[in-house]
A = this chain, B = another copy of it.
Amino acid sequence: MKFDLTILGSNSATPIYNRNPSAQILNINEKLYLIDCGEGTQQQMLKFDVKASRIDFIFISHLHGDHYFGLLGLLSSLHLNGRNKSIKIFGPKPLKEIIDLQFNVSETKLQYEIEYNFTNPNEPEIILDNNDVIVETIPLVHGIPCTGFLFREKKRLRKLIKEKVSALNIPTEFFTAIKKGADYIDNQGVVFKNDSITLDSAIPKTYCYCSDTCFSESYFKQISNATLLYHESTFLHNMLDRAKITQHTTVLQAAEVALKTNAKMLLIGHFSARYKTLNELLEEAKSVFPNTELAIEGKTFQIGDE
């Protein structure tokens, strides 16, 4: 099952050096999940050939502008391009007022419905559960209410061993039950144990998006064993004081989070505008957690395949 992440924006606060504010696209089984939506996200989608019409779910971590100022433009373009399928938005409650006000003022009656699901910044909650994925909020620590998002791939059904199925001539009407774990009993009453005719499916992968936050152990347990951990890494560690004041994380701290929570891989982003190049940030992270990558715009990560 596809479980790919494409970076659309990687900078904090203000755009600069061709880096744009936060936005990512998660492709799970060919359905698109947009995570944060800084200004210019729709332009970035055009640039990187991401079809906005395929997005059905939008997740906004918090209401600092660099995480949502592109949302109105995107919603407006979907409307103008003829969307009529509803869209789900997960984010802080004031988002609805912000969206309603601007569409009211422009006398825009959207041709599609927005289904809001307001996030609770205090407790982890399951906010989406469909055939492909379960999504939980991750309460973060950042001045204004802010949550990250944990995407947990659904466990797939067991896989039939083709040769066994063929040799035993198992009728197709048993397949679903067997994939779900049932034994097979043939018409002579012989029992074939499930694990002799199926293989376990792949271990479900998880993607943790830890948007703006202080370094805090409060969310370590929830994000442990992530297949891919994205963690904001606004500053080099020599800017720790500034990180504390602005309630952000240093690269070194992000690497410590990855190490302590046993992440398989770390992705760093939300870079301060003070860094023209990013090599130094990558090196600092790797000194603590070697399997780190930079959130480079336009790059796609096949989660779990690195």
- How many chain copies does the complex carry? 2
Interface size, A (range)? 20 to 34
A43: Cβ under 8 A from any B Cβ: yes
- The answer to whether A40 has its CB under 8 Å from any CB of chain B is yes
Taken residue by residue from 60 to 100, chain A's Cβ proximity to chain B (1 for < 8 Å, 0 otherwise) reads as 00011110011011001100110000000000101001100
**Any B CB within 8 A of the CB of A167:** no
A72: which B residues are within 8 A, CB to CB? 39, 65, 69
Decide yes or no whether A279 CB sits under 8 A from chain B: no
A98 in complex: contacting residue of B14, B66, B70, B102, CB < 8 Å: B102
Other than the given A14-B42, A39-B73, A94-B101, 18 more pairs (CB < 8 A) read A13-B77, A14-B80, A14-B81, A15-B43, A15-B73, A20-B43, A39-B39, A39-B43, A39-B69, A43-B43, A63-B106, A65-B73, A65-B102, A69-B76, A97-B101, A98-B102, A106-B144, A107-B144
Assembled-state Cα–Cα distance A126/B21 (Å):
38
Distance, CA A46 to CA B16, complexed state (A): 7
5 smallest beta-carbon distances between A and B, as pairs = A39-B73, A14-B77, A40-B40, A94-B105, A69-B73
